[in-house]
Chain A
């Protein structure tokens, strides 16, 4: 499953569809599992009437979690060493998200080999919702 350094080239791309039509129910599922019950994500009445948003919206961490699946499907289980993101736009119910990892470097450190990745997730309108990086240990 793990990637091989000898088969990686800077500029290689891995993509995945994360979700087709994000449901409010999935956002509720994430709230329950993560313990982040901020009503902005699950309570339409509060979010529209008190907070002033057009509807509830996803936790940034749900987008980071779904994007993490794209990464671990690519680099393999137990291989990530770093993963960081900025949340650049909100994600709404009904959104379809696509994610992309791009190889930016393959480096050796303490006798181990690592791949550095640029990470981006965009919505159905091509708006970037998450931008970040990851590093994973790969086989030689």
Chain B
């Protein structure tokens, strides 16, 4: 995830909080939030994932004028050749880790900078060869101070994960 400008907005936090089933007033109610320890609207712990909305190149968002690999007239709008493996959507999310340096608040404007990390392979029981790749994203505020450090691990599988 890379974003030059990720404005953390109360409305976006409200929608995000509803989607995870968390109507904590610290996320959803400006007046209620003032009475909490947060003292105002803050973002839930996994909110920075939605910086995807502000990453111009994020590949899991349909873009105007470009083919999309989800269904329309046909089950997929993009014929893929070779590789990629099961899952079809560019792999699965294997791990996610966050370090919080201070609370993330409505009104913050962040930058997100992602650095690639290690890659490694493993033979999986339920999905063939697994290729893992790690990335580290630093979310900084307008003063350049670190707010959240995120480390994600994605995995590409050889075939769809067999169900137990």
B-binding residues in A (CB < 8 A): 1-2, 18-19, 26, 29-30, 32-40, 42-43, 45-47, 49-54, 59-62, 64-66, 68-69, 71-73, 76-87, 89-90, 127
Contacts and interface: CB of A to CB of B under 8 A. Distances in A.
Given A34-B19, A34-B52, A82-B99, A46 B69 contact: yes
B14 to A, nearest CB: 9
B52 A52 contact: no
B163 interface: yes
Secondary structure of the B contact surface, majority rule: loop
A65 B21 CA distance: 9
Contacts of A32: 15, 19
Which bucket holds chain B's interface residue count?
A: 35 or more
B87 A61 contact: no
Interface of B: 12, 15-16, 18-22, 24, 26, 36-38, 42, 44-46, 49-53, 58, 60-62, 69-71, 75-76, 86-90, 92-100, 103, 151, 159-161, 163-164
A45 B72 CA distance: 9
A69 B19 contact: no
Contact of B87 (A40, A66, A77): A40
Closest 10 CB pairs of A and B: A84-B97, A39-B70, A51-B88, A65-B20, A35-B52, A35-B53, A45-B71, A29-B19, A49-B75, A69-B22
A68 to B, nearest CB: 4
Nearest to B51: A35
B98 A36 contact: no
B92 A46 contact: no
